[in-house]
Amino acid sequence: MNADAARIPESLLLAIGTVAVASADLEHVLRHFVAGLAGITAYDGGSLLLEGQSADWLIGNGKMLVSDDAMSRSDPRGPALRELFERAEQLKNARNTVIHGRWQTRCGWPPADADMCSPRSARTYDHPEFVFHVVRSRYRKYAVEQAWAVSEVDELASQMQALAQQLLDLSERGYAAVAQ
Ligand SMILES: [Zn+2]
């Protein structure tokens, strides 16, 4: 057990903060995007249904609205919309690890068990001095540990910002634009 949170560098703290800010923004845009898909405008009382709903709820219900069951199979927007929600879900899962995980400067596993700690990507250890370890405790499951480079935490924030911009553009240009 090590309590080394005080040794987490500012560059990582800044990157985690940027993910938190980007994620609140993405959630806001997602709320309007899902409302638009459901045919609810910001001025409808119906928009209250979406206020305060979590990213989980918004993505789950968004996926339902663009599923094969809900959308005509011949609707050309279907595949691209489903891909957007898949992307939102992947980013949300990574975001939950970054925001809710416990960060450590060193790996919690001995070298012999290093494969118990999965690197974020094949490039994580390109600059090992900038790699940190994050552990997520899950209900009735073994904790899962991942290694992230600070640049990958920054990258997650940029990916969330890019998706938010993409959803915003689609909301403004109309959902038909998604198929183009
Ligand atoms: Zn580790």
pLDDT for 52-109, tens place per residue? 889 999 999 999 999 887 787 777 888 899 999 999 999 999 999 999 999 999 999 9
Instruction: Please tell me the distance between residue 69's alpha carbon and the centre of ligand 1 in angstroms.
Output: 42
- Kindly give, in sequence order, each residue whose CB lies less than 8 Å from that of residue 87, ignoring residues fewer than 6 positions away: 163
162, amino acid identity: A
Instruction: Please tell me the distance between residue 87's alpha carbon and the centre of ligand 1 in angstroms.
Output: 25
Instruction: Please tell me the distance between residue 116's alpha carbon and the centre of ligand 1 in angstroms.
Output: 7
Instruction: Please tell me the distance between residue 108's alpha carbon and the centre of ligand 1 in angstroms.
Output: 5
Quick: pLDDT tens for 106-132.
Answer: 999 999 998 999 999 999 999 999 999
Residue-by-residue DSSP string for 100-134: HSEEESS-SS-GGGGGGEEESSTTGGGSGGGEEEE
Instruction: Please tell me the distance between residue 163's alpha carbon and the centre of ligand 1 in angstroms.
Output: 29
Strand-pairing partners, residue 28, are: none
Q: Model confidence at 14, in pLDDT bands (50, 70, 90)?
A: very high
Instruction: Please tell me the distance between residue 130's alpha carbon and the centre of ligand 1 in angstroms.
Output: 13
What confidence score (pLDDT) does residue 73 get? 75
